[in-house]
Amino acid sequence: MTRKLYYSLAKNNIKKNKSTFFPFLISILIMVAMFYIISFISYEVSHAKGFYGMEPMEMILQFGTYVCGIFAALVIFYTNSFLLKQRSKELGLYSMLGLEKRHIAKVLFWENCIIGLAGLAGGLILGILFSRFMSLLLFKMIGTSIKLGFSIPTISVMSTILLFLAVYFVNFVVANIRVARLKPIELLQSEKKGEKEPKANWLLAVLGIVSLGIGYYLSVTTKNPIKALNTFFMAVLLVILGNYLLFISGSVMLLKVLKKNKRFYYHKSHFISVSGMTYRMKRNAVGLANICILSTAVLIILSSTVCLYMGIEDVLHQQYPRDLRIVCDVKKEEINTDKMEKIVQQKVKKAGKETLQVKKGYSFNYLGCKGKNNHYMIAGTFDVDNMQYLTMYSLEEYNQLADNDNKLPELGEKEIWAYDEKGTLKDRQKIFLADEAYTVRILKQEQFQQMRDAKKGLYFDTDESSLGETINFFLPNVKELCKMKKKAEQLEKKGNFSYPTFQYAYAFNMSEKNAKKMETFVDNLEKTLKEAGLDSQIRSLVVNRDAFYGIFASLFFIGIFIGSLFLVTTVLIIYYKQISEGYEDKERFRILQKVGMTTEEVKKVIRSQILQVFFLPIFLASLHIAFAFPCVEKILEMFLMSNRTLFICCTVGSIFVFLVGYGIVYKLTAKTYYRIVGTNN
Amino acid sequence: MALLEVKNVRRVYSTRFGGNKVEALKNINFSVEEGEYVAIMGESGSGKTTLLNILATVDRPTAGEVLLKGENLVAIPEKELARFRREHLGFVFQDFNLLDTLSIEDNIYLPLVLAGKKYQEMNGKLNGLASKLGIAQLLKKFPYEVSGGQKQRTAVARAMITNPDILLADEPTGALDSRSADDLLNSFTDIHEKGQTIVMVTHSVKAASHAGRVLFIKDGEIYHQLYRGNLSNEEMYKKISNTLTVLLSGGEVND
């Protein structure tokens, strides 16, 4: 009998507070559905061994599942405690009416049950319905079609149920603690608290600006991509800190300054806004700062993952300019290139194909530190700041590759051709390679470009690599390259920390688009070459394309998922903020109308207030993104993605999509707000 | 010509589908001269709040007209009402209606700011008014920091700062303790003596005893009126009490 009472009380509460419970239910629904879908896809990918590159995908999706789970839990937890705070008065009333705390707990328990179970069940159904569609979408993005039947993996269902039941349990415990701690009088008053005028804290505001400034500075000035990740985290932390401080005290300070300006403050269109905002900021600073951080995160995640996905072909062609590239490590002396070529030609012919656009040649790469006074290839410990990438080619070989107009003249004794994009080297300058002096002859930019085109497809394109600055050298012939390699080896024996590689590369196109056939061909060729004593690595564009698509599409997918989760959260926070304020503002606007403000004027004030609250975080988020841009770009370069135009487009596109979504929420919220405040008619 | 003339005002409320009709005001006629202090008394449900709402232009009569300085309030278009209220009427409410986000000073400025006045001008008007009402020390404080009586005096200052034609007060002492109520009524008397026209709706005999004339309203009609003449507040109090007793017992009033 009594149990029924609590149940019906809970049911009534939900019915009466539709405008708060309904969005909560919807958000639980979305969270549950999304978590189920991502764990479903993760499950499916891990059980669909079928194409190259599944493993990294599996890992990414697994990771994405955890992130989504944690995030969904946090959002529901946050929303629940927010709602609880809002309802203090109502709970206080129960207490006054004679319900004991354990009775209130029971009512809350039933409320949680109804909303939670409805959300869980509905979310699961929604998730199951959409899971198939989403996995098809992912596989479509990867570009592979894998035949899979309709399935509902028990493990996904169970993990979803367990996760959300655990979250509900924690919520319930928190609610109990909250109810147990408050006295009825406090329950009744807790909404009235904090009516004091907020004080501006100059120190905190200045600290916020400084922290934001340093964060921005770090982001903009990052040069070294290997270091960028650390710097990025540092910058992120500083910006987050600065963001909170600015919202909390910077905003109040700004409003105080505005208030001091009598001419500005005592103006019809500023008076109500400025004074209202002062209070509003005090109560909502943290919420708005949250929204700002979330929006920034959504936008960065979205734009970078979209950019990675859209730029796959770019990255692929940069990594694999030819269909096939055979790279042999040169151990001692030159290798038998004729023998290798012969084997390759035979194999290709046997497969019924031709070797097209062949390019071949030696290259010596050295990643180490540079010393003072143009000393390169020095002994010493590894140091990220002084990292220098050197690539050396044979002039003889280059002249064979290049057409007549672009052939380079022979070099004199101890002379080398060089080019570095930064222009730190001057013509006829002396430099030292492993303590041996050389006179540098500088290539013209056009010549370098020709050289680059000529060797394109043959070598890994180090000029655009993310590993650091590169200097390109031309030594007279392969023999000189061999000598250079020996010097590097001697240095290594002295304990030098560097990465010398001396390779012979043979690259060509063969019009084979089928990844499976290509894979067999590559395996076969590799074996034959090994039998002939030629240890080699063969890289194929076609074979690796799947892997790339797998990785980048999963990243994209996770990006969209986490982005949507963040968006739902943002929307929820804004909605609740606006609604709860609506009830307080109602009284204020009633007074204003009595004192002689027209409905039109009241509406104008309301509009400007909502607009400020809505678009201030977005404005700041855009600013954060603008300053994060260089840093994120460098991090993308680590994924070999260096297409600035594409990244700008993706960023702008993401902001646009986000703004559209945000605008819709704004419209809906404003409508509810007007209804509450009562200026609808 | 009287400052305010209420002629044949009738107000009928009907439910949404026109079923039940309630006649809140039947046929109200009275006028207020410039500089008069009039109290309107009646029980709850007598129609006094409806009458004040019509005077305040918040509500419109079903029939009849209300003239302020010869201008028919009923004919003012909806759009201009807010401006009209701001320029010609001052309000004091039972529950103060101060904005909690504004300081006492800013609350008083509110109607002038809405009217687009300059700060210097507003500030000039404020000083005399604030010291007269005894709130000069509180100007920088916020409503939550001051007492009910101080809040109500702030509301009076806010109403007075526009130099309204009429000060309309709706149960101004309703939410105050008796000491604060006395202070407030004394303030009203002061203001009145400086020439301000006041119309106050109340059911407090004490509040009404400060007025120069008391109108009694019952079942939507002006039932009776009393003039102060040369009576003191105490004598007026007694007279009003007697009248009310008779009114409540349903008998006729014999003067």
Paired strand residues for A657? none
Q: Is residue A518 part of a domain?
A: no
Amino acid at A80: N
Q: Does B91 touch chain A (CB under 8 A)?
A: yes
pLDDT (tens digit, 9 = 90+) per residue, A269-308?
788 888 888 877 777 788 888 889 888 988 888 898 889 8
Whether residue A52 is predicted with pLDDT greater than 60 in this model: the reply is: no
Q: Domain check: are A279 and A376 in the same one?
A: no
Say if residue A316 is in the same domain as residue A329. Answer: no
Nearest to B101 among A268, A276, A593 (CB): A276
Measured in angstroms, the CA of B184 and the nearest CA of chain A are apart by 20
The answer to whether residue A530 is domain-embedded is: no
Q: Is A547 within a domain?
A: no
Higher-pLDDT residue of A580 and A557 is A557
Closest CA to A308 of A558, A1, A97: A558
Sheet strand arrangement including B213-218? B89-92, B166-170, B198-202, B37-41, B213-218, B221-227
The pLDDT tens digits for B151-195 are 999 999 999 999 999 999 998 988 889 899 999 999 999 999 999
Give the C-alpha distances (Å, rounded to integers) separating A461 from A259, A475, A476: 60, 18, 21
Evaluate whether B164 touches B57 at the Cβ level (below 8 Å): no
Q: Report CA torsion sign: A59, A65, A67, A70.
A: negative
Distance CA(A347)–CA(A354), nearest Å, equals 10
CB contact under 8 A, A591 and B116: no
Q: Quick one: three-class SS letters along B56-101?
A: CCCCCCCEEEEEECCEEHHHCCHHHHHHHHHHHEEEECCCCCCCCC
Q: How far is A67 from chain B (nearest CA, A)?
A: 42
Contact across the interface for B100 and A197, Cβ inside 8 Å: no
Coil, helix or strand at residue A422: coil
Judged by CB atoms closer than 8 Å, whether chains meet at B144 and A196 is answered as yes
A159 pLDDT band (50/70/90 cuts)? Answer: very high
- Residue A422: count of CB within 10 angstroms of its CB: 8
Residue A606, phi then psi, degrees to nearest 5: -60, -45
**If contacts are CB pairs under 8 Å, which of residues 149-188 in chain B contact chain A?**
158
Whether residues A294 and A391 share a domain: the answer is no
Chain A touched by B100 (CB under 8 Å): yes
What's the token pair of residue A561? 């998922």
Number of structural domains in chain A:
3
B253 pLDDT more than 60: no
Residue B198 pLDDT > 80 = yes
Span A561-610, pLDDT tens digits = 888 888 888 888 778 877 777 877 888 888 888 777 887 888 888 888 88
Q: How far, CA to CA in Å, does B203 sit from each of B44, B171, B181, B209?
A: 8, 7, 13, 11
Whole-complex ipTM:
0.81
How would residue A681 be classed by pLDDT, with cut points 50, 70 and 90? very low
d(CA A476, CA A399): 10
Strand (E) or helix (H) holding A568:
helix A541-595
User: CA of B68 to nearest chain A CA: how many angstroms apart?
Assistant: 17
The encoded tokens of residue A240 equal 């987050």
Q: List the one residue out of B48, B44, B70, B46 whose CA is nearest residue B59.
A: B48
DSSP codes joined into one string, A481-514: HHHHHHHHHHHHHTT---EEEEEEEEEEE-----
Handedness of CA A455, A457, A462, A464 (dihedral sign): positive
Strand order, beta sheet including B4-14: B21-32, B4-14, B63-68, B71-72
Query: What pLDDT does A166 receive?
Result: 93
Give yes or no for B223 touching A (CB within 8 A).
no
Contacts of B207 (CB under 8 A, 6+ apart): B39, B172, B173, B181, B185, B200
Pairing of strands A375-376, A430-433: parallel
Q: Which residues of A touch B98 (CB under 8 A)?
A: 591
Minimal Cα distance from B102: which residue of A?
A275
Length of chain A: 681
Chain A residue closest to B110 (CA)?
A595
Higher model confidence: residue A418 or residue A451?
A418
Q: Say yes or no to pLDDT of A145 above 70.
A: no
Same structural domain, A411 and A344 = yes
pLDDT of residue A459: 60
d(Cα B62, Cα B80) in Å, to the nearest integer?
20
Say if residue A146's pLDDT is above 80.
Answer: no
Which of A511, A528, A555 corresponds to the end of one domain?
A511
The verdict on residue A544 lying in a domain is no
- Residues A207-234 pLDDT 10s: 999 999 999 998 888 776 666 677 778 8
Nearest CA in chain B to A263: B119
B110 Cβ under 8 Å from any chain A Cβ: yes
DSSP-derived pairing of the beta strands B166-170 and B198-202 = parallel
Among residues A158, A178, A193, the one where a domain terminates is: A193
pLDDT, tens only, B58-99: 888 999 999 999 889 888 888 888 888 888 999 898 888 888
pLDDT digits 0-9 by tens, A311-347:
888 778 777 777 778 887 777 666 777 777 877 787 7
| Tens-digit pLDDT profile for residues A71-98 | 888 888 888 887 887 777 777 777 777 7
Among B58, B93, B116, beta carbon nearest to A268: B116
Alpha helices in B89-174 (DSSP H): 104-114, 119-133, 148-160
- Summarize pLDDT for A252-263 with one digit per residue, the tens: 888 888 888 888
Q: Are the CB atoms for B149 and B183 separated by under 8 Å?
A: yes
Do B11 and B65 touch, CB atoms closer than 8 A?
Answer: no
Residue A597 has its nearest CB partner, among B58, B82, B97, at: B82
CB B159 within 8 A of CB B112: no
Q: What six digits make up the tokens of A275?
A: 């004074």
DSSP-derived 3-state class of residue B207: helix
Asked whether A355 and A508 are in contact (CB, 8 A), the reply is: yes
Is residue B199 scored above 80 in pLDDT?
Answer: yes
- Residue B250's pLDDT is 65
A216 shares a domain with A69? no
Where is pLDDT greater, at A528 or A319?
A528
Q: Scan for tokens 């004919």, then name that residue.
A: B75
User: A63 is written with which tokens?
Assistant: 């990771």
pLDDT band at A194 (very low <50, low <70, confident <90, very high): very low
Contact A595 B158 (CB under 8 A): yes
Contact B110 A601 (CB under 8 A): no
DSSP state of A470: E
pLDDT band of residue A519 (cuts 50, 70, 90) is confident
H or E element, residue A257:
helix A251-260
Banded pLDDT at B214 (limits 50, 70, 90): very high
Q: Tell me, what's the pLDDT at B212? A: 92
**Cβ contacts of residue B42 below 8 Å, gap of 6+?**
B48, B203, B216, B217, B218
CB atoms near residue A681 (< 10 Å): 6
Instruction: From A174, A193, A212, give the residue that closes a domain.
Output: A193
> First-to-last CA distance in chain A?
45
CB contact under 8 A, A196 and B142: yes
Q: pLDDT digit string (tens) for B6-47?
A: 999 999 988 766 667 888 888 899 999 999 999 999 888 788
Whole-number Å distance between alpha carbons of A554 and A58: 9
| Two structure tokens written together for B250 | 């349903």
Same domain, A395 and A414: yes
Q: Which of B80, B89, B100 to mutate to test the interface with A (most CBs of A within 10 A)?
A: B100
Can you tell me the mean pLDDT for A150-171? 90
Interface test with B, best of A587, A595, A600, A681 (most B CBs within 10 A): A595
Asked if the C-beta of B13 comes within 8 angstroms of chain A's C-beta atoms, the answer is no
The whole-angstrom separation of Cα A279 and Cα B101 is 7
A371 exposed, middle or buried (CB, 10 Å; 0-12, 13-18, 19+)?
Answer: middle
Residues of B in contact with A197 (CB under 8 A): 103, 142
Q: Which of residues 265-284 of A touch B (CB under 8 A)?
A: 266-268, 271, 275-276, 278-279
Q: How many CB pairs under 8 A join A and B?
A: 69
A534 in any annotated domain: no
Distance from CA of A200 to the nearest CA of B (A): 15
Q: In this structure, what DSSP letter does residue A417 have?
A: E
* Contact call for A595 and B110, based on CB within 8 A: yes
* Contact between A454 and A446 (Cβ < 8 Å): no
Residue A533 CA to residue A510 CA, distance in Å, equals 24
Tokens describing residue A530 = 């090994």
Residue A648 is assigned to a structural domain of this protein: yes
A591 to chain B: closest CA residue: B97
pLDDT band at A418 (very low <50, low <70, confident <90, very high): confident
Q: Strand B4-14 to strand B63-68: parallel, antiparallel, or no bridges (unpaired)? A: antiparallel
The verdict on a CB contact (< 8 Å) between B86 and A595 is yes
Among residues B219, B184, B79, B176, the alpha carbon closest in space to that of A601 is found at B79
Tell me what the mean pLDDT of segment A40-55 comes to. 73
> Which of A214, A250, A258 is CA-nearest to residue A235?
A214
Question: Do A356 and A493 sit in the same domain of this protein?
Answer: yes
**Nearest CA distance, B15 vs chain A (angstrom):** 19
- Residue B33: its pLDDT value, please? 93
Strand pairing of A415-420 and A430-433? Answer: unpaired
- pLDDT tens readout for residues A649-662: 999 999 998 888 88
**pLDDT score at B247:** 77
Asked if A279 lies within 8 A of B85 by C-beta distance, the reply is: no
Pick from A195, A275, A596: which is nearest to B82 by CB?
A596
Residues A235 and A128 in one domain: no
pLDDT tens column, A358-398: 777 777 777 777 777 777 777 766 666 677 777 888 877 77
User: For residue B200, what pLDDT band results from cuts at 50, 70 and 90?
Assistant: very high
A428 touches chain B (CB under 8 A): no
Q: If we measure between CA atoms, which residue out of A116, A111, A114, A107 comes closest to residue A161?
A: A116
CA angle, corner A579, sides to A672 and B101, nearest 5? 120
Say whether both A506 and A435 belong to one domain.
yes
Chain B residues with beta carbon closer than 8 angstroms to that of A278: 101
* Residue B75, amino acid: A
Environment class of A372 (CB within 10 Å of its CB; exposed 0-12, middle 13-18, buried 19+): exposed
Q: Within this chain, do residues A473 and A621 fall inside the same structural domain, yes or no? A: no
* Closest by CA position to B61, among listed B18, B26, B17, B19: B26
Residue A93 belongs to some domain of the structure: yes
Same domain, A482 and A333: yes
- Which residue of A lies nearest to B100 if distances are taken between CA atoms? A195
Q: Are A320 and A547 in contact (CB under 8 A)?
A: no
pLDDT at A231: 78
Q: Is residue A219 part of a domain?
A: yes
Nearest to B82 among A276, A278, A598 (CB): A598
**Per the CB < 8 Å rule, is B91 touching A597?**
no
Tell me the residues of chain A between 159 and 198 that have a Cβ less than 8 Å away from chain B.
195-197
Nearest to B100 among A195, A263, A266 (CB): A195
SS3 (DSSP) at A349: helix
Q: Which of the two residues, A550 and A318, has the higher pLDDT score?
A: A550
pLDDT value, residue A144: 66
Domain limits for position A61: 1-193
Residue A147 shares a structural domain with residue A218 = no
pLDDT at A463 over 60: no
